[in-house]
Amino acid sequence: MANPVIDGYAADAVEIIPRYEALPTETVLGAVLHLIPTSPCRVLDVGAGTGRNPAWFAAQGHRVTACEPVDAFRLNAVDQYRKSNIRWLDDTLPGLAATKSVGEFYDFILLSGVWHHVSPQERAPSMASLAHLMAPGAGLIISVRHGRSAPNRPSYDPSDEEVERLAIAAGLEQTFLKQTEAIQAANRAAGVTWTWFAFSRP
């Protein structure tokens, strides 16, 4: 079944890849950098994009699984970061079927720049899938974009309150919340803001 978000990113991949790769992970994740495990652990990056963040995690010594449904992003990342210890999967929310089939649970999960593309009817099962993949004591970071996005990549502008409610319903505990401006100048000028959440699994 066609997915307009995936199709939109695929159509713009040639322009997006160098732009995303030019942004340092330390800058993109600056609001939550202090929450990322420093000791090597099992990391899952859902919506791993062009590979920048998974490669950064791998360089920190983590064992990384990266899920990315946009073929152009994933294949470019596999080639660009072929020396990094990253397991790449073609997978997407809400089901994350390929990831679940691996049979592994993760100590830290990142969902960066993805949640606003999840349709309202898919949000509860998506949160349940993320919670299912978390080992006891694991952490989950979700960034939520507010504001206009590219017209060919549907965005649903979810509320922060809904994210909190769905996470709690999935058995998670909120540990962090912060609102930030966009780091890209064009997005900042357009009034785009982000909310960063951290949750843990008891």
In our burial notation (b when 16+ CB lie closer than 10 A, e otherwise), range 125-143 reads bbbbbbbebbeeebbbbbb
Does the pTM of the predicted model rise above 0.85?
Answer: yes
Q: Name residue 104's amino acid.
A: E
Question: Phi and psi of 195, rounded to 5°?
Answer: -115, 130
Strands (E), 73-132: 86-89, 106-111
The range of the structural domain enclosing residue 118 comes to: 4-200
Can you give the pLDDT of all 202 residues of the chain as single tens digits? 579 999 999 999 999 999 999 999 999 999 999 999 999 999 999 999 999 999 999 999 999 999 999 999 999 999 999 999 999 999 999 999 999 999 999 999 999 999 999 999 999 999 999 999 999 999 999 999 999 888 899 899 899 999 999 999 999 999 999 999 999 888 888 889 999 999 999 9
For residue 24, count other CB atoms closer than 10 A to its CB: 12
CATH number, domain containing residue 31: 3.40.50.150
Domain count, the chain: 1
Radius of gyration of the chain (CA): 16
State whether residue 153 is helix, strand or coil: coil
Q: Which residues pair with 108 in a beta bridge?
A: 43, 139
